[in-house]
Amino acid sequence: MERIAIISDIHGNKTALETVLEDIKKREIKRIFCLGDIVIKGPNPDITVDLIREKCDVVLKGNCDESVSTERALEKKFWTRMKIGEERAKYLENLPVSYDFYLSGRLVRLFHSSPFGLDFICNPAFSNVNNRYADMEIHDPLKMFENTEFVGKTEQDKIPDIVGYGHIHTPNLFRYGNKILFNTGSVGSANEMLNNGEEDDLTNKFSTLASYTILEGEYGSTELGSISITNVRIPYDTEKEIAMLENSDMPGKEKIIFSLKTASTNYR
């Protein structure tokens, strides 16, 4: 049996990423897959890109990775683009968008947000019908298992049994018929949908944690066997990360600091 760590949505948070990587090391997990959004929001996107390149066996592209690697980001001298430099931007631009593999007889497919693009929202526990993401919401979770041109698949290809994704920053695990859909949550930018934005230490200490997923099974095996999916939540030194933000010249850092303290996007 092999364990695979699935991480996502680091968002330039060096402190959280280092804490997660140390936890993975302590568990003696040798294989790490990253589902994207390595950059934007945090003060150290250059370091997080370098760590991901060094530590991960598979790295996929997220919507933030795509946006920071565009010509427009360069022309506008976007802060993160200037921070990471052109070699790292080219690396992000050329990342793949999906990865398939067998685990104990199940076909597993990983991507950042959906098989249709990098910006779609699928959160079976919460609706986005009344917010700015409404037009990008996937209402039927079974659509997450579709073979599409975006992930390089056709109707002749096998439909995955398990799909893992990031993007929504909220870990979950759902079963639909014989299929499993899981979300890793976020390493560096936790989001608790029910948090109202109050700086309540009693509540927030349970929701501002870093998050990742561990898959356990026979990697590469098409023979049906034992499998498990585990979500891991880890406290990290948020005050250290906030101090780095405060000492940086990153625009809009107040909103990011608020999110790190509250796990909420309800910034006012």
Q: Considering its fold, how many domains does the chain have in total?
A: 1
Q: Is residue 60 part of a domain?
A: yes
Residue 268 lies in a domain: no
Residue 41 CA to residue 215 CA, distance in Å, equals 28
CATH code of the domain containing 123: 3.60.21.10
Per-residue pLDDT tens digits of the chain, which is 268 residues long? 999 999 999 999 999 999 999 999 999 999 999 999 999 999 999 999 999 999 999 999 999 999 999 999 999 999 999 999 999 999 999 999 999 999 999 999 999 999 999 999 999 888 777 766 778 899 999 999 999 999 999 999 999 999 999 999 999 999 998 999 999 999 999 998 878 777 777 778 889 999 999 999 999 999 999 999 999 999 999 999 999 999 999 999 999 999 999 998 876 6
25 domain-assigned:
yes
Domain region containing 242? 2-262
